[in-house]
Each structure stands twice: as structure tokens, then as C-alpha cells.
Amino acid sequence: MMCLIRLLRSFGARNDKTLKNYKKILFINPFGIGDVLFTTPLLDNIKDTLPEAKIGYLCNRRAFEALENNPSIDKIFIYERDEFVNEQKKSFWKWLSKTMAFINDIKQEKYEIAFDFSLNSQYGLISWLSGIKERVGYDYKGRGKFLNQKIPLDGYKDKHVVDYYAKLIDLKGFNFIKNNLKIYPQADDINKADEALKESGAKPGQKIIVVIPGGGASWGKDALYKQWPINYFLLLCDKIIAKYKAKIIIMGNSAESNLCRQIKDHLKSNVLDLSGSVSLRQMAAICAKSDLVICNDGGPLHIAVASKAKTVSIFGPVDEKVYGPYPYGNHLVITEKVTCRPCYQNFRFPGCNYEIQCLKKLTPDKVFAACQKILG
């Protein structure tokens, strides 16, 4: 009975000590690649102020590589929700055993505070069961019931996601200082990038343009609504090669190989297709060595931004002020003014009844003009 009382007290407790008193901190972000990269400026801020603090990070398997080798992170916990759901369908007891083992792994680290970016009560429950006394996050649609310090939220709008994330650490007395997104390619990744440039046949001084025609994997079957028409990419590549005699390197995941192949087959020469053959960090290393990255809204854009590449990105349904490159720097975002965009609001895409006019009306000439601003 006393154990139950202590648990209930910890559930509702609110501890007002400032961030500077914490030695063990857990970040929770189960979303996509871009979302976890949006937390990297916060990690740097905390580690710069509290160099002795140990920071753990809970993320999904797809985003793991974007965080691996980050010097601000001491331990990463991979939580793949579908794996747990599938286990539960097979056997309740095996699911329970797997869940408790995962929670115990976190509990052993004795984290004092969790910054929960999940907007989902499931992760607050995991923090609570892991014995984390301070659980800080956003209360979206009443899903913050296991948080004991929270900010009401109905959606991200009018400012960047990074700035929303920063408000959570500000709650604990930490003054957020804007910083770049970070990703950390290793020596093998950089060697892969060097090999790719050599394979492309690029000559000294010849411009290297990375084209990533896919993206939006976290949207699942709706990803195509974030993708500029492939025939527009073909026309754009023609214009870039005609003006700059550039080498084109195409990248994307294995599911996007067909998109990438269409560009390769169209160009025939001056092109290297690396779709499905490079990791996230290798993609970052290749982007870092390019003169320009052209891509849609999605994780690859933020990988390129984190690699300090120059980018031209194409946004359709999503508000670039909220989900665009951070900080802007050497980046141009191209959009088309149509009355229905941005239609992605409050974490919901309503579908499209207008044949994706926000992307189809955005011509190759307009995107090429943006490329010229960067390439000269």
C-alpha cells in the first residue's frame, strides 16, 4: 500500500528545481528523422551548460542513425511501437515481458527528468513507470496525463518546431540559445562520400548537385503529397546540366529507387544514382561535399541542413515556417501561393481535393531560379 501511495504522489508531484540541478536527463521523441534532428540544438545547449550531465534519448529505429555518435548523447533507447504491438498480438505475456524489460533498462539509468516531445500519453506512462520524477512535455488533446509539468497545445503554428521544443527546457530555467542542427558522419561515412564523388566522374571545380526526389517517409502512403512531380525534377536537372555542366547525384531510400531511376534513365550521363545504397550519415557526408542539395520537405532536407549543405527545398502541404530548414542560413524554400496551403494543420493532413496544386503549379523555372541564386 505504501508503495502505491508513493507512486501516486510521484505521478502528481511537481518539482520546481531548475535544470542546473539535474545530472541525468532523458529526451523522448518517437517521430521522424527531421523531428529528432530538431532536438539536437537543445542537446547541445544542455551539454554546454551541464557538461557532466548524462543524457539519454528514446527514439524509433528509423531515426536512430541520425542520433548515433552524437557526443551530447550518452545512451539511446530504441522503441519501435509496431514491434511491441505485434508482440502483443502474438502473446500478452511475451509483450508484457518485453515491455517491462524495456522499462527496466530505462529505470536502471535513474533519470531525474524526462523532456517528452511525443504528444502521447504512452510515453509519459513509460517515464512514470521508469521512476522518472519530473516529466515535462506538451499536453495535446489531454494526452499529457502522466506529465507533471506541461504546456497546453493544439498544434504547432506560426513558429518553428525547434522553438516549440525549446519552450520545454525553458520551463526548467534553461535559456535556449539558437544553434544548428547536428549530425555526425564517421570516417567510414566520409570515405563513402569521397568514393561517390570519384564514381560520379566529377572533375576538379565541377559543380556537384545532390537531388533527392522522395522524402516524407513518416507520412506513409501520403508521402506522395509532399513530393514535387518527378517530371519536374527531370526538367530541372536538364536546366542545371545545360547551364552549369554539373554532375548530378541522386539519393533516396530503397522504396524511392523507382523515382531515382527515372531521373537516371532520363539523364543517361552526368548522373550517379545512389538510391537505396547509402545510410543517413553517408547521405549527410555526401551532401556536405556538394554545391547544392535540391529536395522536398522531409527528413533528407534536415539531414542536408545538419550537414551544413546549401539547400533549395520544395514545400507543398506543410508550413515551411514551422517545419522548414533551421536556422535558415544558406537555404531557400520554394512554395506556391494557393489558397488551400498550408493544409497540414494540428498534426493532421486532411487529404487533397485539388490534385496537389501547391506542387503542380510550382514550375521547374521557379525552382531553377532559386538554384541560380545559390550557384551563381
Indicate whether 218 and 120 sit together in one domain: no
Q: Are 10 and 39 in contact (CB under 8 A)?
A: no
Q: CA-to-CA distance for 253 and 260, rounded, in angstroms?
A: 9
Give 62's contacts (C-beta < 8 A, 6+ positions apart): 32, 33, 217
Domain contains 177: no
| Boundaries of domain holding 212 | 187-375
**Domain check: are 31 and 127 in the same one?**
yes
Find residue 140's DSSP bridge partners. 153
pLDDT of 9 reads: 40
pLDDT at position 94 is: 84
Tell me, yes or no, whether 57 lies in a domain.
yes
Could you tell me if residue 180 is inside a domain?
A: no
Cell of 105: 533498462
Q: 229, 359 in Cβ contact below 8 A? A: yes
Residue 144 lies in a domain: yes
Shared domain check, 6 and 65? yes
3-state secondary structure the chain: CHHHHHHHHHHHCCCCCCHHHCCEEEEECCCCHHHHHCCHHHHHHHHHHCCCCEEEEEECHHHHHHHCCCCCCCEEEECCHHHHHHHHHHCHHHHHHHHHHHHHHHHCCCCCEEEECCCCHHHHHHHHHCCCCEEEEEEECCCCCCCCEEEEECCCCCCCHHHHHHHHHHCCCCCCCCCCCCCCCCHHHHHHHHHHHHHHCCCCCCCEEEEECCCCHHHHHHHHHHCCCHHHHHHHHHHHHHHHCCEEEECCCHHHHHHHHHHHHHHCCCEEECCCCCCHHHHHHHHHCCCEEEEECCHHHHHHHHCCCCEEEECCCCCHHHHCCCCCCCEEEECCCCCCCCCCECCECCCCCCCCHHHHCCCHHHHHHHHHHHHC
Does residue 100 sit in the same domain as residue 17?
A: yes
Kindly report, residue by residue over 24-68, the tens digit of the pLDDT. 999 999 999 999 999 999 999 999 889 999 999 999 999 999 999
Does 90 share its domain with 121?
yes
Whether 20 has a pLDDT exceeding 70, the answer reads: no
Is the residue at 192 inside a domain? Answer: yes
Q: Is the pLDDT of residue 147 over 60?
A: yes
Clarify whether residues 237 and 348 are in a common domain: yes
Lowest mean pLDDT among 133-147, 170-184, 193-207, 352-366: 170-184
**Do both 46 and 191 map to the same domain?**
no
Question: Is residue 175 in a domain?
Answer: no
Together in a domain, 142 and 232: no
Domain end among 117, 140, 170: 170
Q: Answer yes or no: do 271 and 136 share one domain.
A: no
Same domain, 311 and 194: yes
Q: Compute the distance between CA of residue 62 and CA of residue 64 in angstroms, rounded to an integer.
A: 6
Residues 86 and 212 in one domain: no
Q: pLDDT by residue (tens digit) across 319-346?
A: 999 999 998 788 999 999 999 999 999 8
Let me know whether 165 and 192 are in one domain: no
pLDDT of residue 97: 86
* 3 pLDDT above the threshold of 70: no
Tens-digit pLDDT profile for residues 153-170: 999 998 999 999 999 999
Counting the structural domains of the chain, the total is 2
* Percent of the chain's residues with pLDDT above 70: 95
Q: Check pLDDT > 80 for residue 96.
A: yes
User: Residue written as cell 531510400?
Assistant: 253
Does position 205 have pLDDT exceeding 60, yes or no? yes
What is the pTM (predicted TM-score) of this model?
Answer: 0.92
CATH number, domain containing residue 290: 3.40.50.2000
Q: pLDDT tens digit string along 107-140? A: 999 999 999 999 999 999 999 999 999 999 999 9
Q: What mean pLDDT value characterizes the chain?
A: 91
Q: What is the pLDDT of residue 55?
A: 97
181 within domain boundaries: no
- Give just the sign of the alpha carbon dihedral 239, 245, 246, 247: positive
Would you state the pLDDT for residue 19? 57
In a domain, 48, yes or no: yes
**Last residue of one domain, picked from the residues 170, 202, 236:** 170
Q: Would you state the cell numbers that stand for residue 132, as one nine-digit string?
A: 522518472
